Amino acid sequence: MKKTRKKPALRSDTTVMDVGRNGREMYIRAMPSCCLGALKEAVARGSDGRRLLSMECPECGREWRITSSLDERVLERFATHGGPRVGGGYPAA
């Protein structure tokens, strides 16, 4: 029997930040497909009790943070970071 692991569809109102580039916030649908796939995998693996601060795409090496989400599975898996709105700056990664 084939084991196929279903990747969950994530809520499209989840936003992420591209840490290594310019910290721009974007919706997950704007992510490169490799990164979106990696995010889905991370969510599919479920929580081991610790929430991740960020996620690195194994394919392209970009690092992502979740800035906001209303998706319970995402919130269970990742700590969310408010976007760089407060004071106009944000800490270096």
Backbone angles phi, psi at 27, to 5 degrees: -75, 150
CB atoms within 10 A of CB 27: 12
Strands (DSSP E) contained in 1-93 are: 15-18, 25-27, 55-56, 63-68
58 lies in the binding site for Zn ion (CB under 5 A) = no
Between 27 and 85, whose beta carbon lies closer to Zn ion? 27
CB of 90 to Zn ion, least distance (A): 22
3-state secondary structure of 45: helix
Lay out the site mask for Zn ion across 10-49 (x = CB under 5 A, - = otherwise).
Answer: ----------------------x-xx--------------
Can residue 55 be called a binding residue for Zn ion (CB under 5 A)?
Answer: no
**Closest approach of Cβ 43 to Zn ion, in Å?**
15
CA 38, CA 13: separation in Å to the nearest integer? 17
Binding site for Zn ion (CB under 5 A): 32, 34-35, 57, 59-60
